[in-house]
Structures are given as structure tokens and as C-alpha cells.
Copies of this chain bind each other. A is one copy, B any other.
Amino acid sequence: MKAIIISIGDELVLGQVADTNAVWLSQQLPPLGITVSEHVTVGDDIDAVTAALTRTGQTADVLLVTGGLGPTDDDLTRYALAKVLAVELELRRDCLEQIEKFFVRMNREMSPTNRVQAMIPAGCEVLANQIGTAPGISVRLAAAAAFFLPGVPSEMKKMFDESVKSKLQELISVDGVKGVIVCRALRVVGTGESNIAQMLGGMMARGRNPLVNSTVADGMISIKIIARSDDETSAQGLIEPVEMEIRKRLGNLIFGCGDETLAGAVADMLRRQRRTLAVAESCTGGWLAKELTDSSGASEFLQAGWVTYSNRAKTDCLGVSTDIIDSYGAVSEQVAGRLAAGARQIAQTDYGLGITGIAGPTGGTDEKPVGLVYIALADETEVKVIRNVFPGDRDQVRRRAVNTALDALRHRLIQRNAKAD
């Protein structure tokens, strides 16, 4: 089964935003046994959308279309679809009610322009939108099962998971299509892509099944193991020994699987080991705490966090003496250590993390360059400080500081667990 993904929006063909929807959808289909053969992006132009739908409806088994379902004049997908199907648009009462309810829930007045979102080409099935106003549409378009989803990523993802995925699974079982592609991702921290290529060597050669490759996103490496087989069980069977070998070679460089984040992995370890944490951040400005609270349940381990951007806050809130700041500077091993120890002591936690550094772009000197970040981890026995000089811009330096702090704590928790066993 072949799928084509169509993205609609002037902002995409103008290069104003990256098309993350096509990326996400492309990741969802192979595990269902559907191969993505093409992405197409067109602007908010009815002729371009109509032409793309007509052409791809003849060549694909599945069409996933995102965007152009909004309430404004440049949202043309519904008109293009009606044109291709040669039907009229109908006001769907059920959709209108859903949209009205949405505004009541939001405590906002509904604009009359939103009414157009309840206009659906005749004969189409509607896909409910739980978190936005644009309903989705499902219909057969020439040879293809076509699904029209909102362009807002969160709405698109929820609609795919809740409505489209099961329909695709049904289609596959009806068509008796065999063969699936199963992908397993291992998440790695603390080394580079070329080093991983060296550690895995021939395992990453092309044309193998499973195929092993690596991708980088947001400074984190994922190692993908992609197996093609008749069914999920046998594909998993192909993946298993390869995964074991990779785990053997990379060891603790692997922190998780799938789309697990490093902060999520550390949060899980803290919860499982019933350990608590307090953080004190200077240059990362709250980013570490934000990452740790991205998933719910952080109240079980994160007792408190401080953003001590100013020197006075370092002194007043965490007891870093002005003497130490004056002698060594705010960006120093000594201040990082006091931040971590102070946070741990005041919040009465098992661990304290302290970060102080020069994220740039200004503020660097020869002795203390931009990218210099001290990261301290305090526990009941010691305060350990790591000195780093991170490359990259402000955003990259801060992200790397957050990840390095999380990874230091992860290794401490692994050690502790090993001792406890």
C-alpha cells in the first residue's frame, strides 16, 4: 500500500515554516505496513490543490492531506475537494454544534466566519476535532482512501491517532495486504554520530534487513532499526538480535527508546528509585526545570527550582556568599557547587543540580569564553562539578547544558541502582 502526503499552505511554499506535519505522518505509516512514496506541498491556490488531489488520487492507495480547513478566505481545501468530487458543499448541523460547543468551552464568542468550517462536501464522512474548530474529512477519491486533516499539528496528530489510524488498519485488513515495516528507535546521549557509526561499523551498511541508521534532532541522536517482514511478530524477531547487539556495543550511551526524552528518562528513574531533586539554574534560566516538568508526575520528585539569574538571587535564595562570587566570578566551579548544594539543602532533597555559564552571544572573555558552563551535582556524600565549553549559539549552548546536567544525574542514578542490586 502506497501513501502520498499532501500539505497545503502558502506559508509552506514560501518557506516561512517547515512542514513538520509531513514528517510526523511519514513516521506513523510504515509501522502500519504503508509505504510513503511522495510528499507534495502546494500553496493556498484552488487550482494547485485541485490538480494535486486529482493526480495523486489516481496513483496512491492512501492520501493524507493537511491544511486549508481553517475559517479564512485562504482555506480552500473544502472547495477543492468538492470540485474534484463534483459535489456541493453542505452545512453539517453536527459539525456546527461541535464548533459552537468548542467556543462555549473556550469561553470565547464564535465568529460568524467559523460557520464555514461546518461546510462539508456532500457524501463525505466527518472526523471529529476534539481540540480545535476544523473538522476532518474522510472520503474515497478515485483509487485512494483520502483523509483531510487540520494543519495545526496538535489537532492533526490527535485526529490521526483517534480517527484515521483505525480506519487505515481496517483498510489494510480488508485489502489483505501483507508485509509491514517496523521501526525501533534507540535514543543516545553523550557522543556524536560519527563515533556511533564507528562503534556500529558494518551493522549500518545499506541494503540490510533490518536497516540500521542514525538521525539527529535537537542535538539528540536516534538509532533507527528498520525491519521489513510479513507481519509484526517476524519483523520484531528481526529487530531483537540487532537491538541486543547495539545495546551491547553502546551500553549506557543509550538512555531510552522511541520518542522518549532524556528528561523523561531521568524523571522515570527518580520516581522508580524514590529519589528527590532540586535545581538551581543561572544561564539555562528555567529550561532544566521546564524539561523535567514536561511530563506529569514531576511533583513526586521535583521539590523546588530556582532561577538565580542575578547575583543577588544566588546569594539571597541559595546562600552563595558574595565573597565566593567576588573571588571566583558568578561563572565558576565554586558558584556551581554552591548552587547545587544550596538547592539540595534548602529543599531537603536527595540531589541538587546547579548550572552557571555564559550562554552568549555576548559576555565571553579569553579566560571564560562563550559556551563555558559549569554543571554541579550534589548528593549526600559529595558535590561534583563538570566544566564544559559547549559549541553553538545561545540556544544550543543552553540546550547542551540542560542535557549534560540531566545526563550527569542519569549516570549517578545508574551507579546507585547498580550498588543497590
Contacts and interface: CB of A to CB of B under 8 A. Distances in A.
Nearest to A393: B154
Which of A7, A39, A70 has the most B CB atoms < 10 Å from its CB? A39
Nearest to A279: B307
Contact of A317 (B112, B284, B294, B304): B304
Contacts of A12: 26, 39
A342 B313 CA distance: 14
Interface stretch (A30-38, A136-144, A236-244): A30-38
- One complex includes copies of this chain to the number of 2
Interface size class of A (residues with CB under 8 A): 35 or more
Contacts of A38: 13, 40-43, 48, 52
Contacts of A295: 394
Nearest to A25: B15
Contact of A193 (B72, B205, B296, B312): B72
A180 B299 CA distance: 54
A164 interface: no
Contacts of A19: 18-19, 22-23, 39
Contact of A286 (B24, B42, B131, B288): B288
A111 B199 CA distance: 10
Dominant SS among interface residues on chain A = mixed
A392 B131 contact: yes
Given A39-B39, A285-B286, A302-B309, 6 more contacts: A40-B40, A73-B206, A111-B195, A285-B289, A286-B287, A305-B306
Interface of A: 7, 9-20, 22-28, 30, 36-45, 48, 52, 55, 70-74, 102, 105-108, 111-114, 131, 133, 152, 154, 158, 183, 185, 192-195, 197-198, 204-207, 213-217, 222, 224, 226, 279, 281, 283-290, 292-296, 298-299, 302-310, 312-313, 316-317, 346-347, 359-363, 389, 391-396
30 contacts: A11-B213, A11-B215, A13-B38, A13-B39, A14-B30, A14-B183, A15-B26, A15-B28, A18-B18, A37-B43, A39-B40, A44-B213, A73-B205, A111-B192, A113-B198, A158-B393, A279-B307, A285-B286, A285-B289, A286-B287, A286-B305, A287-B293, A289-B307, A294-B395, A295-B394, A296-B363, A296-B394, A303-B310, A305-B309, A313-B347
